[in-house]
A and B are shown apart, each in its own frame.
Chain A
Amino acid sequence: MLEVIHLSKKYGKTLAADDIGFTVPDGRIGILLGPNGAGKSTVIKSIAGLLRFKGTVRIQGQDSHTMEAKRSFAYVPELPYMYEALTVREHLEFISRAYGIPLSEEEASSLFRRFELADKQDKLGSELSKGMMQKVSICCALIVRPKVILLDEPMVGLDPAAIKELKAQILELKAQGCTVLISTHMLEMVKELWDVTFVMDKGHILGTYAREALANEDLEELYFSVTGQDRTREDGRQAWER
């Protein structure tokens, strides 16, 4: 379970996240939605422990700064960055040592096959394309066998096969009782995945919506109705035509 309680973050005088609070229970997929500059990245980076913030983040009931919490948590950032001098295989080895999780040859091979990385195992981080880096980043997150996983725009840069594989993997994680939080703009990509959606704008959560409560409403329509971006876009279009 992931709990975000009264999270606030200021950059200088700018309040990027203001008293954010939400919970994603075990075995549920949460989606963090919001326009550019809404504060999603700030929330994500705070949960991942990369930013100082006011408030509390709990992972499986533990404060997110504790080693116990970190051991059950995986993070896939929006932009993947590899160690230039480590091979793909060595990235996995490094992560398995960092998390103290033994990695068998079969597990690694199976992951590489699923994400079509089998022939790239000995490539250095500096030799990978953006899409490949994203796949390695996802594999590194999966070998942790996380209880809570945070994915920031995970589909960006992936080819259709990898997107399909990632979606299947996310549903598998859900079935295993893992908590998933995805931050994305690609509503189409997550419409069959989500259980609960948090819509953010200007550092605030505008609304929390559970799939069960919105039987017939489309995620896209919900997003535009909450943020009012549709109206703004329509005004812009009319102005352009004039």
Chain B
Amino acid sequence: MGAIGYLYKRTLINRTKMALKKPVTYLYLALLLFYFLAVPASLKVVTQGTGLDSARDMAGVLTVLSFWLIPANLIAYAKRRGLVYRHSDVHFLFPAPVGPKLVLIYAHLKTLLAQVLLNLFAVVCGGVLFHVEGWRLAVYFVFSVFIENLLEAGIMLLLYGSEKLRERQRGMVIKAAYGLVVILLGMAVYMYLQEGLSMDTVSRFLHSDMIQMVPFIGWYIAAVHLLFVGATAVNVAGTVCYGLLLAAVVAAAWRMDCKGGFYEDAMKFAEDYEEVLESRRQGNVKRLGKKEKFGKARVRWRGHGASALFYRQLLEYKKSRYFIFDINTIVAVLAGAALAYLYEKEGSFGGLEPYRVFVLPVVAAYMLFIFTAFSGKWAKELKSPYTYLLPDSPFRKLMAATLMQHIQALINGCIMTVPCALVMGLTLPEALLCILFYILMSAGRLYSLAVAQIVTGSALGTTARQLVQMLLLSMAVGAAVMGAVMGMAVGGGLMALGIMDLFLGLFTMIYMVIATLNFYHIEV
């Protein structure tokens, strides 16, 4: 076995062994199996109800997927992206006497397992939802795993590995990929203008001969139609073109000279990728290839000791492009606007109208709950030795490190609450208590993470920490719900909001005090 085969095999075996030792793997496997079976089963109701349950409709779904998957792959490879290399590949594989084409194929094969699983899922869907015969599904599986992969690998080698393609020519490939999308869109607009918008028009468009004549994407669609719908002159011709394209691409890729000129870009990509992985491990949001830009800014440093943490964070935020606004702000804006629009349009929440004061807190709790993984800037303080060396009390350090997050929560809470409160006609105390709930929930999320860190220590991984955090947060939310129920029983909405905030606040305080322990030692 060659070096690449050995690396692939050992990595797979060792990763499987490691995964099987972790209890969370079994949870993920159970979830995966559940979705694997439950999604097709639940979609069956939809496909049967709409009458979209034939092999022809499966061809339609695959046609839609090809509209964005094929151009997206072309663009990624032309930009020398889309293949994942790690630092270890740069260290050991790139300088080794392994053919650069093989190095490219190795990265492409990393996604093979996922591709096989996805195609199996497509086969299950084909059988359950679209009642496609077994032999057609078997041919589709072989076609998608082998033929499609072969063509994609050939294109990847030609675009990613080519040393003759200059930046300008790469740009032209990207433009050509967008051009294909524009042609397809143009055809869709033409059909819309001719026939108007209806399900029939969409169906006729997806199965039309004209899209099967579009180079590459259309030829793939033709092959899919030949398999699932049956032979027509156009889809046979398209399939032949697809075959010729495959032969040409594979031959060109085979003959192409590649000395490893792509290593520089792959190394840069590996650096970005590792940065993103590290950032996600720390609970931050970072997008691949998007370097954060910092402007110039100044702050007036006040106080001493732990205050330095607050002013350093303020300086960082001022240098940051979006200041203290992040994904939570976007979600708050969208949720606030959507709720206000819905209420304005419908005039009430229907059967939930008596409980309308709880709508905002429930939405806020849900939002903050699903974004528990994003811990923000303050969590970095726990990783820095300087935090522990500062001559100040752990409690003051905790307050200074998290103050900016509370200000952020106040602003986000106001953004979400004010428009809704105006539209829904909430009283000022009710609106203020809703904002307070947002702040407390946000603080609870933050301190529960710190408590989870104490509980799990450094021995357990991120997943275990997040599970503990969610458990702690659930307890706090549970207490808040109990408070709301008690308040409603005793004195109505305002009282319920007040007791809800009080209970949530108590839990947050408890978590805050425990979280202080994190600031005694760098590792608990």
Chain A contacts to B: CB under 8 angstroms: 48-52, 65, 67, 70-71, 73-75, 77, 79-87, 90-91, 93-95, 97-100, 124-125, 137, 140
Contact = CB atoms under 8 A, between A and B. Distances in A.
A64 B96 CA distance: 11
Given A65-B260, A94-B6, A94-B10, A100 B91 contact: no
12 contacts: A48-B94, A49-B260, A65-B260, A67-B99, A70-B97, A81-B87, A85-B15, A90-B14, A93-B6, A94-B3, A99-B97, A137-B91
Contact of B95 (A75, A85, A87): A75
Interface in B80-94: 86-88, 90-94
Interface in B11-52: 11, 14-15, 18
A51 B14 CA distance: 32
Most buried by A among B11, B97, B267: B97
A166 B115 CA distance: 45
Dominant secondary structure at the A interface: mixed
Interface residues of B, number: 29
Contact of B10 (A48, A77, A85, A95): A85
B259 interface: yes
Interface string B62-103: 000000000000000000000000111011111111110000
A70 B93 CA distance: 11
Contact of B2 (A52, A67, A97, A140): A97
B349 interface: no
Interface of B: 1-3, 6-7, 10-11, 14-15, 18, 86-88, 90-99, 259-261, 263-264, 267
A100 B97 contact: yes
B97 A140 contact: no
- The 7 A-B pairs of least Cβ separation, nearest first, read A81-B87, A98-B3, A70-B97, A97-B3, A85-B14, A98-B96, A65-B259
A41 B260 CA distance: 19
B11 A86 contact: yes
B97 A95 contact: no
A91 B87 CA distance: 14
A55 B87 CA distance: 26
Contacts of A48: 94-95
B97 A83 contact: no
Given A50-B264, A93-B6, A77 B11 contact: no
Given A52-B261, A70-B96, A140-B92, A85 B11 contact: yes
Given A85-B11, A95-B92, 4 more contacts: A81-B91, A83-B88, A100-B97, A124-B14
A98 B86 contact: no
B375 to A, nearest CB: 23
B126 to A, nearest CB: 34
A97 B14 CA distance: 18
Contacts of A95: 3, 92, 96
Nearest to B14: A85
Most buried by A among B11, B264, B267: B264
Contacts of A74: 95
A86 B91 contact: no
B45 to A, nearest CB: 42
Given A50-B267, A70-B95, A97-B3, A85 B87 contact: no
Contact of B7 (A65, A71, A94): A94
Contacts of A73: 95
Contacts of A84: 88
Given A50-B95, A52-B264, A75-B95, A90 B90 contact: no
A105 B80 CA distance: 40
A172 to B, nearest CB: 22
Contacts of A51: 263-264
A94 B92 contact: yes
